[in-house]
Structure 1
Amino acid sequence: MAQEIVIEMHNITKKFGDFVANDYINLDVKAGEIHALLGENGAGKSTLMNMLAGLLEPTEGEILLNGKPVKLDSPSKSASLGIGMVHQHFMLVDAFTVAENIILGSEVTKGAFLDLKRATKEIIELSEKYGLAVDPDAKVADISVGAQQRAEILKTLYRGADILIFDEPTAVLTPAEITELLEIMRNLVKEGKSIILITHKLDEIRAVADRVTVIRRGKSIETVSVAGASSQQLAEMMVGRAVSFKTDKIAANPKNTTLAIKDLIVNENRGVPAVKGLSLDVRGGEILGIAGIDGNGQTELIQAITGLRKPKSGSIQIKGTDVTHLSPRQITEMSVGHIPEDRHRDGMILEMTLAENMALQTYYKEPFSHHGILDYGFINKNARRLMDEFDVRAASEQVSAGSLSGGNQQKAVIAREVDRDPDLLIVSQPTRGLDVGAIEYIRKRLVAERDKGKAVLVVSFELDEIFDLSDRIAVIHDGKIQDILDPEKTDKQELGILMAGGKLTKEGTNV
């Protein structure tokens, strides 16, 4: 029996001035399926789904829900028709509890008062039904990213959503949380929901999706069965050319030590040590990858190296100079580039233009400014050059950084830092939120920096990325380096043992 079509989008076009974000796109979604929307960063995926969620209205085209034309002119209208969207950047209030966030805008009252007890009971019932474990009484500021996402999903279900849109849902999750989320999606479909999954991650599409619609540069290319298409075919449809999943590189030729860390102790926000007597060095002409489960001191380590967090004890030297207590700018001016794990918090000022963000590290120097006066002509010209070189897609360099897709924001940060030609490049989650074409390009650029004699330190939760890029792999657990391995002589199983706190014997077994 053919599945009923619940959503049809016919010839959807969306223009922002002269910029065409969606160009006559067609999409249909069947009841009880997970339908992936695959495309490069900035291909128009989120714009298309924002129209389904009522956040934008089409310039042209028609949307049908269960065969009937609908006008989705507000989020509340979409919600009333059973359409809910889980956004890439969560729409939660940190100071509120999980329960308060879930019912916000759909409050249950008892007379003139908020009936939070009844609402909490309903939330618990929903969380148990769909396997979405949350603490309704916990403040959002105090829970993990994965728990925040579960709260977002519950928020849509609480409002009665039968069609759920997930926008790049795994971009900020750990591998374990990703596995959990994919299982949640399967449970939702078993309960009769339909899901649209916006993503560029081919392995996740292959794991859960039934069909996939590929969008490239604002146009719908093709809709195919996931079972009938290989990852290579999907990648080529997405970027319009053959894509390599492995970075070609020659053997490293490491030189003198650029970064030397000795007995470093760094506290986390509550004053408890997160980095515990860690020692490590990175040489010019090599990529050192740090592998580890999230929360084992990686964030605090990178913040200490870049001056964003002051160590409790130990030392950090860059090119023989002690930088342990220097400011971020002082460290930056020692020819250090930093691509942070959180591009919003540490990498960009979202309200400023793309051009201004691309000059954040250099605006006070010639030729970006003269005698303290910013040269916007040069700043804008520089941004356009970097946009072309790193394929940062935006209507112009004058748009706000916050209006870009997550992947294009990441490419903008990488462009700014790599273009400065630093001797030491600190990179945390370099390809988070990037499509396969952009991942291929960025990894090649990092290897090119290594080949120029630069020292590159990469922290990534993606083990495939660690193996692809690294000349040496340092495994971190509980704030300490467990071991440093040659990627050619180890495997994911051995790394997994070390990441969990185990040790290897000479035969590579767990002890």
Structure 2
Amino acid sequence: MAPAIELRGVSKRYGNGTLANEGVSLTIERGEIHAICGENGAGKSTIMKMIYGLIQPSAGTILIEGVERHFTHPGQAIAAGIGMVAQHLNLVPSFTIAENVVLGQEPSGRGGLLSREASIVAVRELAKSFGLDVDPTARVSDVSIGMQQRTEILKTLYRGARILLMDEPTAVLTPQETDELFAAIRRLVVSGVTVVVVTHKLAEVKAISDRLTVLRDGRVTGHADTADIDHKTIAEMMVGRPLAPQIVKRIDARGREPRVRVRQLGYVNAQGSVRLSDVNFDLAGGEILGIAGVEGNGQNSLARVLSGLAAPHAGGGDLDGMPFTGRGVRAARKSGVATVPEDRLTEGVAVNLDIEQNIVATTYYGPSFSSFGCLKTGAIGQWARDLVKQFGIKTDSSKTPVGALSGGNMQKVVMAREISGEPKFLIAAQPTRGVDVGAAGSLRDELVALRDRGAAVLLISADLEEVLSLSDRIAVLFKGEIVAHFRADTADQREIGLYMTGLKRQPDAAARLDAAFAATPQEAIA
């Protein structure tokens, strides 16, 4: 029987000359779970897009179930039995799950009219046949991210998918939702579906896949049966060198005077939705407080309010005893606040300006880089070149427009600018998102080094493993409120997941230095 997917010497060169993939050959057997791994910019997503017909290869051959295919748009791929679940889900929030699943292919009732009841029955039966737990009548905006993802999977199955492509499927899931997803994927495979997963999380590669393919710089560096390879070897295949283990010394700051003190912080957005409510936390100098939570639970609002981009509607924050919230970005920066924003493209960089201009965007008016209204271009250039080297920004020149850099290198420019200013308080929102494995490790080292130099660091990350590995304390944010507070060295990932989904809540939770911690399962037993 022919493989589900076979690529023979596939290459993709874009119109601007960028070579995304070169000579990629791989085979994905029917009924297997195949992981495609690689660093940011390795060409993983390009492979998926070519298989799904979103873009076309420049050279090589793609065979689907033994038949050579030349898809020019996704409709042809769907007709050939291929479905794709993107990292960012494509659902209509105001529609029910059933309405989303059948959208564009709605069943009809009497007289050819659309039948809501027929849609509900069809989706319920489909979900039952594949073991996917959903409520067809529930509105998408009211259900968990995990159920939304199962809805996306049902959309592909409803259209007859035999091959399912999944791009970073666990990016916004809790540990419990990840387990549920993996169980669902295994049931799909038992039912005859082939699953291809693109991921950078090595633990998940080991947990879910049967075989894997590793890409680096657009080329295949190896294939393996997942059971025969360890995390360390996969990582080395991805980055092309051995990676040193990252060991972070924990800091116990209880009893110290807070450097950052936030009390009763509240924020309502322009649409009138409460995004933050009665948020209380302390941060000592030389400490990292991690904020865990499913994306969309107020993390972005918290970062914007603390950085000065938005004004709180209640409460506020002090830095070294002086108020710093509600006074605008420049006032916050003068107080010693720096920010790595979640959305680097709109709030972190100016893509049309070069690296030098972005590096000094927040400090160009100071005496180091200007004199009598004129910029010191020599000093700016040297400073930028030093930071390019220190942070490993891949570029031929510090004069390169930031828009020409990869997403990971853009993030390095932001991190270099914010950390090099030696802030008193750093808000790091998704600091390693879109950054490759090797570079992510070095950026995390920079955060820890800044902490060790006395800065207070607030780490906001959707990557729970990152929060657990870097933080000294962890607070869980759910629907804009802090619902739990943990010591990071005793925190349990699955226990945190229960708080992230609202299944558990610590009474009067607050992340103050004098506040109690939530008991871990081990402590509760003791």
TM superposition score category, shorter chain reference: 0.7 to 0.9
Is residue 441 from structure 1 mapped to residue 445 from structure 2 by the alignment? no
State the one-letter code of the partner of 1:318: L
Equivalent residue number for residue 181 of structure 1: 181
User: What is the CA–CA distance in structure 1 between the aligned matches of 2:135 and 2:370, rounded to whole Å?
Assistant: 51
State the one-letter code of the partner of 2:89: F
Single out whichever of 248-257 and 202-211 deviates more from structure 2.
248-257
Is residue 306 from structure 1 mapped to residue 307 from structure 2 by the alignment? yes
Equivalent residue number for residue 192 of structure 1: 192
Q: Note the C-alpha offset of 1:246.
A: 2.2
Alignment of 1:402-421 (within 5 A): 411=412, 413-421=414-422
User: What is the CA–CA distance in structure 1 between the aligned matches of 2:252 and 2:56, rounded to whole Å?
Assistant: 52
Equivalent residue number for residue 315 of structure 1: 316
Equivalent residue number for residue 5 of structure 1: 3
User: What is the CA–CA distance in structure 1 between the aligned matches of 2:20 and 2:293, rounded to whole Å?
Assistant: 38
Q: Note the C-alpha offset of 1:411.
A: 4.9
Q: Note the C-alpha offset of 1:440.
A: 1.2
Equivalent residue number for residue 222 of structure 1: 222
User: What is the CA–CA distance in structure 1 between the aligned matches of 2:117 and 2:380, rounded to whole Å?
Assistant: 55
Equivalent residue number for residue 524 of structure 2: 509
Contact 1:171 1:432 in 2 (8 A): no
User: What is the CA–CA distance in structure 2 between the aligned matches of 1:126 and 1:153, rounded to whole Å?
Assistant: 11
Q: Note the C-alpha offset of 1:67.
A: 1.9
**Percent identity of paired positions between Structure 1 and Structure 2:** 40
User: What is the CA–CA distance in structure 2 between the aligned matches of 1:73 and 1:191, rounded to whole Å?
Assistant: 29
Per-residue CA deviations over 1:447-478 (Å, capped at 9, x if unaligned) read 12223332211234555433432334456678
Equivalent residue number for residue 102 of structure 1: 101
Equivalent residue number for residue 45 of structure 1: 44
Alignment of 1:424-435 (within 5 A): 424-435=425-436
State the one-letter code of the partner of 1:47: T
State the one-letter code of the partner of 1:86: V
User: What is the CA–CA distance in structure 1 between the aligned matches of 2:353 and 2:126, rounded to whole Å?
Assistant: 41
Contact 2:342 2:431 in 1 (8 A): yes
Is residue 35 from structure 1 mapped to residue 39 from structure 2 by the alignment? no
Unaligned runs of 5+ in 1: none
User: What is the CA–CA distance in structure 2 between the aligned matches of 1:164 and 1:494, rounded to whole Å?
Assistant: 28
Normalising to structure 1: TM-score of the pair? 0.81
Alignment of 1:122-141 (within 5 A): 122-136=122-136, 140-141=140-141
Single out whichever of 457-466 and 385-394 deviates more from structure 2.
385-394
Counterpart of 1:77 in 2: which secondary structure? helix
Equivalent residue number for residue 327 of structure 1: 328
Q: 1:481 to 1:148 in 2, by over 3 A?
A: closer
User: What is the CA–CA distance in structure 1 between the aligned matches of 2:394 and 2:171, rounded to whole Å?
Assistant: 19
Q: Note the C-alpha offset of 1:336.
A: 1.9
Single out whichever of 373-382 and 224-233 deviates more from structure 2.
373-382
Equivalent residue number for residue 65 of structure 1: 64
Per-residue CA deviations over 1:219-268 (Å, capped at 9, x if unaligned) read 10111000000111111111111123423559799997431123445568
Per-residue CA deviations over 1:408-466 (Å, capped at 9, x if unaligned) read 66556545543554331112343345443233122111112223332211234555433
Is residue 203 from structure 1 mapped to residue 203 from structure 2 by the alignment? yes
| Matched positions, count | 501
Q: Note the C-alpha offset of 1:65.
A: 1.6
User: What is the CA–CA distance in structure 1 between the aligned matches of 2:348 and 2:308, rounded to whole Å?
Assistant: 14
State the one-letter code of the partner of 1:187: R
Alignment of 1:5-404 (within 5 A): 5-16=3-14, 17-94=16-93, 96-108=95-107, 113-136=113-136, 140-248=140-248, 257-266=258-267, 274-276=276-278, 278-291=279-292, 301-308=302-309, 310-341=311-342, 353=352, 359=358, 362=361, 365-366=364-365, 390=391
State the one-letter code of the partner of 1:508: E
User: What is the CA–CA distance in structure 1 between the aligned matches of 2:215 and 2:199, rounded to whole Å?
Assistant: 11
User: What is the CA–CA distance in structure 2 between the aligned matches of 1:120 and 1:371, rounded to whole Å?
Assistant: 70
Q: Note the C-alpha offset of 1:132.
A: 3.3
Q: 1:62 to 1:444 in 2, by over 3 A?
A: same
Contact 2:286 2:456 in 1 (8 A): yes
User: What is the CA–CA distance in structure 2 between the aligned matches of 1:166 and 1:377, rounded to whole Å?
Assistant: 48
State the one-letter code of the partner of 1:75: P
Single out whichever of 469-478 and 371-380 deviates more from structure 2.
371-380
Contact 2:52 2:71 in 1 (8 A): yes
State the one-letter code of the partner of 2:505: G
Counterpart of 1:14 in 2: which secondary structure? strand
Single out whichever of 378-387 and 336-345 deviates more from structure 2.
378-387
Contact 1:305 1:316 in 2 (8 A): yes
User: What is the CA–CA distance in structure 2 between the aligned matches of 1:379 and 1:160, rounded to whole Å?
Assistant: 57
Normalising to structure 2: TM-score of the pair? 0.79
